[in-house]
Chains A and B, each alone.
Chain A
Amino acid sequence: RDSIFGNVKELLETKSLDSDDLFDELEEIFIMADVGVNTTVKFVDQLRKNIKTKKITSSDLLMELIIEEMYTMYVKDDIAVNEINIEDNRINVLLFVGVNGVGKTTTIGKVANELIQQGKKVMLVAGDTFRAGAIEQLRIWSERVNSEFYCNEEGSDPSSVMFDAIKYAKEHDIDVLLCDTAGRLQNKKNLMNELDKINRVINREIEGAPHETLLVVDATTGQNGLSQAKIFNEVTTITGIVLTKLDGTAKGGIVLAIREEMGIPIKYVGLGEKLEDLERFDFEEYLFGMFG
């Protein structure tokens, strides 16, 4: 499909660069990328104010300006926006949450791979005690990355799995616990209560934990992603987003709305089904993907 790059070039070349055309084009790109109307209007209004298209003669320069403006809006003076809260000399706990099928379990495998390559001692915790094949799925990932693995029997209480895993971690010098949880829709009260309990148990057993609670969001998700972020955040403070399946045709723009409305940054991006298909979020690259 046409990229804004192509259209902007075209507009400039025919000398008919009308900022209205350009910004209408941008609006359409954002809406079709699932950014949503509210955030799109905010972004485009800001861009209209700060970009004087009369003085711009190259589409490359214009693109640079757009990205610069959007980056400022994204970062919001938050210097540590991209960091993962892992420190030496403590047991770090990363909790992965989200609705069904978004890629939590697979992402844990990928993050484990990254941390193990950095020399950390990692343990995967099978907190999904409900879904068919869930524990086995995580066990296979732990074998692939050669990490420790903790599980109880299927059907056991996930909070007690966390409790037992933390006890084990304290006795075995583990650096990072990557905790998997069952997929759950945010409107299911009982499942959100279960997550609340998981969070409290982790916090009680390790001070300051979970150090990261990552909401895993599927790039194909539409406006419901905002409701997911809001309700999950009420139950356990979401410190970052993992945007998965960005190797598909969806752009995952809802994460920009989540950042804009709730201040939650994107920490990782999933680009496939293999261990190496994980990257730290790079805003410029992400925008290029959206526009291209």
Chain B
Amino acid sequence: NLSDRLQMSLRRVTGRGRLTEKDIEEMMREVRLSLLEADVNFKVVKSFTKNVKEQAMGEKILKGLNPGQQVVKIVSDELQRIMGDKAEPLTINAIGITKMMMVGLQGAGKTTTAGKLALHLRKQNNLKPLLVALDVYRPAAIEQLKTIGSQIGVDVFEMGTKEKPLNIMKQAMEFAVSNGNNLVIVDTAGRLQIDEDMMNELVEIKNYLKPEEVLLTVDSMTGQDAVNVAEGFNNTLGVTGAILTKLDGDTRGGAALSLKEVTNISIKLMGMGEKLDQLEVFHPERMASRILG
């Protein structure tokens, strides 16, 4: 981990009494390597390390007792500062229907997370959720959502794969009103942020639905491309928050830092497994220490 690597690189320096700028630069190299290994975006690593170096030069690290530990603390504090000190909550309407849209790349975990979200909000906020199946493309996507709905006892609105998603959305809202649902969670098909037609489809649905939340589902093992995806979805559609999935894996999750630093998207929730109760509120300090390794 970073602390060990810094200790190793400092071992070559101890005994000299005080550190030089060159020694600090050597430590910054270790910080850079560690963050790149953690999948933090290359450009974010550059600006982050520059920032850390300024603080390291400014503080009395040069005369410090344990410079390695001090640098680790600066890095950790800086990660924490960027990640924020607690997750922003989901926007829930006090009256009327709260609407949430799940969006993201193929396979990120939208359908599974839609189910988790319904279960979580029914419990926590005592809401009556409706899941809406707008993925008319992927084979058996609707079946998947219906199975999830029945596993947690949540209604699923679907009209098969032969209707246009916007039409299904409109019918779903009519149904929600007559069925007394006060939370509507919309599952959409996975898509590339560079697919104009598919992104347009989302824009149309959003303009009709006016959702309280547009949640970007991001696989936590995403590498350098996280920034492109986040920027693409945020610029074209507008995203109100992100959900990081598959955090039960062993990936460091540097994409989280890139999301926050480059697009300032607030990560609200984390997927911690395949079961529908494995959804947790995002913990910024836990994420920061995970990225640190």
Residues on A close to B: CB < 8 A? 28, 31-34, 36-37, 99-103, 130-134, 136-137, 139-141, 144, 185-188, 218-225, 227, 245, 247-251, 254, 273
B219 touches A185 (CB 8 A): no
Given A34-B224, A222-B39, A273-B137; 6 other pairs, CB 8 A cutoff: A99-B249, A100-B274, A185-B249, A222-B255, A223-B252, A254-B223
B250 touches A133 (CB 8 A): no
A99 touches B221 (CB 8 A): yes
Query: Which of B51-59, B77-85, B139-147 touches A?
Result: B139-147
B36 at the interface (CB under 8 A from A): yes
In the complex formed, the residue of A with least CB distance to B37 is: A223
A-B contact pairs, 11 of them (CB 8 A): A28-B42, A31-B224, A37-B33, A131-B274, A134-B140, A218-B219, A223-B223, A223-B252, A224-B251, A249-B192, A273-B106
B128 at the interface (CB under 8 A from A): no
Given A185-B246, A224-B250, A224-B251, A249-B228 contact (CB < 8 Å): yes
Return B291 CB to nearest CB of chain A, in Å: 12
| Cα–Cα, bound, A218→B104 (Å) | 14
Residues from chain A with a CB closer than 8 A to the CB of B65 are: none
B172 at the interface (CB under 8 A from A): no
Residues from chain A with a CB closer than 8 A to the CB of B105 are: 220, 245, 248
Given A101-B107, A222-B254, A248-B192, A132-B143 contact (CB < 8 Å): yes
| Cα–Cα, bound, A141→B228 (Å) | 31
Residues from chain B with a CB closer than 8 A to the CB of A218 are: 107, 219
Given A36-B37, A132-B143, A222-B222 contact (CB < 8 Å): yes
Residues from chain B with a CB closer than 8 A to the CB of A251 are: 225
A220 touches B223 (CB 8 A): yes
A224 touches B221 (CB 8 A): yes
| Cα–Cα, bound, A134→B274 (Å) | 13
B223 touches A140 (CB 8 A): no
Give 1 or 0 for each of B234-260: 1 = CB within 8 Å of chain A CB: 000000000000101111101100000
Residues from chain B with a CB closer than 8 A to the CB of A136 are: 139-140, 143
**Interface residues of B, dominant DSSP:** loop
Given A101-B107, A223-B39, A185-B222 contact (CB < 8 Å): no
Residues from chain A with a CB closer than 8 A to the CB of B246 are: 99-101, 185
Give 1 or 0 for each of B27-67: 1 = CB within 8 Å of chain A CB: 00000010011110010000000000000000000000000
Q: Which of A37, A133, A144, A273 has the most CB of B within 10 A?
A: A133
Partner of B106, one of A139, A140, A245: A245
Return A275 CB to nearest CB of chain B, in Å: 11
In the complex formed, the residue of B with least CB distance to A130 is: B274
3 nearest CB pairs, A to B = A222-B223, A101-B107, A133-B144
Return B284 CB to nearest CB of chain A, in Å: 20
B193 at the interface (CB under 8 A from A): yes
B225 touches A34 (CB 8 A): yes
In the complex formed, the residue of B with least CB distance to A248 is: B192
A221 touches B221 (CB 8 A): yes
| Cα–Cα, bound, A222→B221 (Å) | 6
B214 at the interface (CB under 8 A from A): no
Partner of A249, one of B36, B139, B219, B225: B225
In the complex formed, the residue of B with least CB distance to A140 is: B139
Return A269 CB to nearest CB of chain B, in Å: 15
B107 touches A102 (CB 8 A): yes
Residues from chain B with a CB closer than 8 A to the CB of A219 are: 225
| Cα–Cα, bound, A149→B108 (Å) | 27
B250 touches A185 (CB 8 A): yes
Residues from chain A with a CB closer than 8 A to the CB of B42 are: 28, 31-32
| Cα–Cα, bound, A36→B35 (Å) | 11
B229 at the interface (CB under 8 A from A): yes
Return B177 CB to nearest CB of chain A, in Å: 28
Given A32-B224, A99-B249, A187-B249, A249-B144 contact (CB < 8 Å): no
B109 at the interface (CB under 8 A from A): yes
In the complex formed, the residue of A with least CB distance to B106 is: A245
| Cα–Cα, bound, A245→B252 (Å) | 22
Return B161 CB to nearest CB of chain A, in Å: 10
B107 touches A222 (CB 8 A): no
B203 at the interface (CB under 8 A from A): no
A221 touches B109 (CB 8 A): no
Residues from chain B with a CB closer than 8 A to the CB of A102 are: 107
Return B196 CB to nearest CB of chain A, in Å: 14
A101 touches B219 (CB 8 A): yes
B168 at the interface (CB under 8 A from A): no
Given A133-B140, A185-B249, A100-B109 contact (CB < 8 Å): yes
